[in-house]
Chains A and B, each alone.
Chain A
Amino acid sequence: MKTFNYHSAKDVKEASKLASSNSAFLAGGMTTIPSMKLGLASYKDIIDIKRIKKLSGIKVSGKTVTIGATTKHSEVASSKDVKKAIPSLAALAEGIGDPQVRNRGTIGGSIANNDPAADYPSACIALNATIHTNNRSIDAEKFFRGMFETCLKSTEVIESIEFSIPQKSSYQKLPNPASRYAIVGVYVAQHKTGINVGVTGAKSCVYNDKDLAGALTKNFSSSVIDSVKISSSGMNSDIHASSDYRANMVKAFAKKAVDAC
Chain B
Amino acid sequence: MASLVGSRVERKEDKRFLTGKGRYTSDINIANQTYAIFIRSPHARAKIKKVDISKALKSSGVVDILTGEHIAQDKIGGLIAGWAIRSEDGSEMKCPANPPLAKDSVNFVGDPIAVVFAETLDEARAAAELVKVDYKVLKAVSNLGEAMNSETIHDGIDKNLCYDWLLGDRQKVKEAFEKADKIIKLDIVNNRLIPNAMEPRACVIDYNTASEEITCYTTSQNPHLSRLIMSAFGGVAPENKLRVVAPDVGGGFGSKINLYNEEIVCSWASKKIERPIKWVAERTESFLTDTHGRDHITHAELAVTNDGKFLGFKNETIANLGAYARVFGTVTPTYLFGPCATGVYIMPAAYSNVKAVYTNTAPVDAYRGAGRPEATYTIERLVDKAAMELGMDPIEIRMKNFPTEFPFKQTLVHQIDSGDYVAGLNKAKEMADYDGFAARKKESESKGKLRGIGVTSYFEACGIAPSPVVMMLGCGVGLWESAEVRFNPTGQVTVYTGSHSHGQSHQTTFAQIAADELGVPIENIDVVHGDTDKGTFGMGTYGSRSLTVGGIAIVNACKKIVNKGKKIAAKMLEASPDEVDFKNGEFVVAKSNKKKTIGEVAFASYLPGVRDEVKSPLPEGEEPGLIESSFFDPANFSFPAGSHICEVEIDPETGHVKLDKYTAVDDFGTIVNPLIVEGQVHGGLAQGIGQALYENAQYDDSGQLITASYMDYTMPRADDLPDFNLGFTCTKATTNPLGVKGCGEAGTIAATPTVMNAVINALDGKEISLPATAEKVWKACKEMKKSNAKAA
A230 contacts partner chain B, Cβ-Cβ < 8 Å: no
Q: In the complex, A127→B706 CA distance in Å?
A: 36
Is B775 a contact partner of A245 (Cβ separation < 8 A)?
Answer: yes
Residues of B within 8 A of A30 (CB): none
B711 closest partner in A (C-beta)? A179
Is A178 a contact partner of B714 (Cβ separation < 8 A)?
Answer: yes
- Give per-residue flags for B564-589: 1 if the beta carbon is below 8 A from chain A beta carbons, else 0: 00000000000000000000000000
Which 3 A-B residue pairs are closest in the complex by CB-CB distance? A178-B714, A179-B711, A177-B714
Which of B710-732 touch A at CB < 8 Å?
710-715
Residues of A within 8 A of B774 (CB): 174, 177, 241
A117 closest partner in B (C-beta)? B711
B270 contacts partner chain A, Cβ-Cβ < 8 Å: no
B524 contacts partner chain A, Cβ-Cβ < 8 Å: no
A-B contacts, 17 of them at CB < 8 A, read A3-B122, A177-B714, A177-B773, A177-B774, A178-B694, A178-B710, A178-B711, A178-B714, A178-B715, A181-B711, A239-B706, A239-B707, A245-B775, A245-B779, A248-B778, A249-B654, A255-B653
Is B773 a contact partner of A252 (Cβ separation < 8 A)?
Answer: no
Is B775 a contact partner of A242 (Cβ separation < 8 A)?
Answer: yes
CB-CB under 8 A for A252 and B122, given A239-B706, A242-B775, A245-B775:
no
CB-CB under 8 A for A179 and B710, given A239-B698, A255-B653:
yes
Is A241 a contact partner of B775 (Cβ separation < 8 A)?
Answer: yes
- Give per-residue flags for B228-269: 1 if the beta carbon is below 8 A from chain A beta carbons, else 0: 000000000000000000000000000000000000000000
CB-CB under 8 A for A245 and B694, given A174-B654, A177-B714, A178-B713:
no
Which of A164-222 touch B at CB < 8 Å?
174, 176-179, 181
Residues of A within 8 A of B284 (CB): 38
- Give per-residue flags for B463-477: 1 if the beta carbon is below 8 A from chain A beta carbons, else 0: 000000000000000
Residues of B within 8 A of A242 (CB): 775
Residues of B within 8 A of A177 (CB): 694, 714, 773-774
CB distance from B715 to the nearest CB of A (A): 7
CB distance from B781 to the nearest CB of A (A): 11
Which of A100-144 touch B at CB < 8 Å?
none
Q: In the complex, A240→B710 CA distance in Å?
A: 13
CB distance from A129 to the nearest CB of B (A): 27
Other contacts beyond A177-B694, A181-B711, A239-B698: 19, CB < 8 A: A38-B284, A174-B654, A177-B714, A177-B773, A177-B774, A178-B712, A178-B713, A178-B715, A179-B711, A179-B712, A239-B706, A239-B707, A240-B712, A240-B773, A240-B775, A241-B775, A252-B653, A252-B654, A255-B653
Q: In the complex, A250→B333 CA distance in Å?
A: 43
Residues of B within 8 A of A239 (CB): 698, 706-707, 712
Residues of A within 8 A of B698 (CB): 239
Q: In the complex, A248→B707 CA distance in Å?
A: 25
Residues of B within 8 A of A176 (CB): 711
Please tell me the size bucket of the interface on B.
20 to 34
Instruction: Give residues in A with beta carbon < 8 Å to B.
Output: 1, 3, 38, 174, 176-179, 181, 239-242, 245, 248-249, 252-253, 255
A180 closest partner in B (C-beta)? B717
Q: In the complex, A253→B655 CA distance in Å?
A: 12
- Give per-residue flags for B749-792: 1 if the beta carbon is below 8 A from chain A beta carbons, else 0: 00000000000000000000000011100110000000000000
Residues of B within 8 A of A181 (CB): 711
Residues of B within 8 A of A38 (CB): 284
Residues of B within 8 A of A245 (CB): 775, 778-779
- Give per-residue flags for B636-672: 1 if the beta carbon is below 8 A from chain A beta carbons, else 0: 0000000000000000011010000000000000000
B698 closest partner in A (C-beta)? A239
Residues of A within 8 A of B706 (CB): 239
Q: In the complex, A240→B714 CA distance in Å?
A: 10
Q: In the complex, A249→B653 CA distance in Å?
A: 8
B694 closest partner in A (C-beta)? A177
Q: In the complex, A103→B779 CA distance in Å?
A: 37
Residues of A within 8 A of B775 (CB): 240-242, 245
Q: In the complex, A231→B594 CA distance in Å?
A: 92
Q: In the complex, A179→B774 CA distance in Å?
A: 15
CB distance from B777 to the nearest CB of A (A): 11
Q: In the complex, A242→B779 CA distance in Å?
A: 11
Q: In the complex, A176→B713 CA distance in Å?
A: 10
CB distance from A171 to the nearest CB of B (A): 16
Residues of A within 8 A of B654 (CB): 174, 249, 252-253
Residues of A within 8 A of B122 (CB): 1, 3
Residues of A within 8 A of B714 (CB): 177-178
A248 closest partner in B (C-beta)? B778
CB distance from A156 to the nearest CB of B (A): 28
- Give per-residue flags for B689-719: 1 if the beta carbon is below 8 A from chain A beta carbons, else 0: 0000010001000000011001111110000
Q: In the complex, A179→B717 CA distance in Å?
A: 11
B775 closest partner in A (C-beta)? A245
Highest count of chain B CB atoms <10 Å: which of A38, A176, A242, A248: A248
- Give per-residue flags for B516-556: 1 if the beta carbon is below 8 A from chain A beta carbons, else 0: 00000000000000000000000000000000000000000
CB distance from B438 to the nearest CB of A (A): 28
B710 closest partner in A (C-beta)? A178
CB distance from A238 to the nearest CB of B (A): 8
Residues of B within 8 A of A3 (CB): 122
CB distance from B431 to the nearest CB of A (A): 29
A98 closest partner in B (C-beta)? B717
Residues of B within 8 A of A253 (CB): 654
Residues of B within 8 A of A178 (CB): 694, 710-715
B655 closest partner in A (C-beta)? A245
CB distance from A57 to the nearest CB of B (A): 30
B282 closest partner in A (C-beta)? A37
Q: In the complex, A178→B707 CA distance in Å?
A: 10
Q: In the complex, A1→B773 CA distance in Å?
A: 35
A178 closest partner in B (C-beta)? B714
Highest count of chain B CB atoms <10 Å: which of A1, A177, A239, A242: A177
Q: In the complex, A123→B711 CA distance in Å?
A: 23
Q: In the complex, A181→B775 CA distance in Å?
A: 16
Q: In the complex, A75→B779 CA distance in Å?
A: 39
Q: In the complex, A1→B129 CA distance in Å?
A: 12
Q: In the complex, A248→B715 CA distance in Å?
A: 25
Q: In the complex, A174→B284 CA distance in Å?
A: 26
A3 closest partner in B (C-beta)? B122
CB distance from A3 to the nearest CB of B (A): 7
Q: In the complex, A203→B713 CA distance in Å?
A: 21
CB distance from B575 to the nearest CB of A (A): 66
Q: In the complex, A181→B654 CA distance in Å?
A: 16
CB distance from A31 to the nearest CB of B (A): 12
B652 closest partner in A (C-beta)? A252
CB distance from A97 to the nearest CB of B (A): 11
Q: In the complex, A178→B774 CA distance in Å?
A: 12
CB distance from B594 to the nearest CB of A (A): 63
Which of B471-493 touch A at CB < 8 Å?
none
B654 closest partner in A (C-beta)? A252
Residues of A within 8 A of B711 (CB): 176, 178-179, 181
Q: In the complex, A3→B714 CA distance in Å?
A: 32
Q: In the complex, A176→B714 CA distance in Å?
A: 9
Q: In the complex, A177→B698 CA distance in Å?
A: 16
B716 closest partner in A (C-beta)? A177
Residues of A within 8 A of B707 (CB): 239
Residues of B within 8 A of A1 (CB): 122
